[in-house]
Amino acid sequence: EAAVTQSPRNKVAVTGGKVTLSCNQTNNHNNMYWYRQDTGHGLRLIHYSYGAGSTEKGDIPDGYKASRPSQENFSLILELATPSQTSVYFCASGDGTGNSDYTFGSGTRLLVI
């Protein structure tokens, strides 16, 4: 079954430390997305990708980098984590053709102390 898998499921990081959130999809979708979900804000787009080697800035990219080394994998990198980045992060894949075929991962709960 096609799926989007995120790791880790939960993460506690120290302020100033580096954090990498991983995402793997087996949908063979071209597009992948990273969102964060916070109370009162819904889901907000951080970075997205059109395919291997591509990364694009979303609506709130500051403090985040992304990497798409292959069709299947899309990582979100926090080089210097801050407490304001405490959130739940969701990865998603989409076919990018306007058929509205999106699959979301189970989320990563990140706490920066």
Partner 1 sequence: GQQVQQSPTSLVLQEGENAELQCNFSTSLNSMQWFYQRPGGSLISVFYNPSGTKQSGRLTSTTVIKERRSSLHISSSQITDSGTYLCAMEQGTGGRALIFGTGTTVSVSP
**Judged by CB under 8 A, does residue 64 bind partner 1?**
no
Distance in angstroms (rounded) separating the CA atoms of residues 94 and 103: 7
User: Which residues inside 29-48 make contact with partner 1, applying CB under 8 A?
Assistant: 31, 33, 35, 40-45, 48
Closest to partner 1 by CB, 27 vs 31, is 31
**Judged by CB under 8 A, does residue 100 bind partner 1?**
yes
Question: Quick check: 101 and 94 in contact, CB under 8 A?
Answer: yes
Distance in angstroms (rounded) separating the CA atoms of residues 15 and 102: 33
Q: What are phi and psi of 7, to 5 degrees?
A: -145, 145
Q: Which residues bind partner 1 (CB under 8 A)?
A: 31, 33, 35, 40-45, 48-50, 56, 58, 90, 92, 94, 96, 98, 100, 102, 104-107
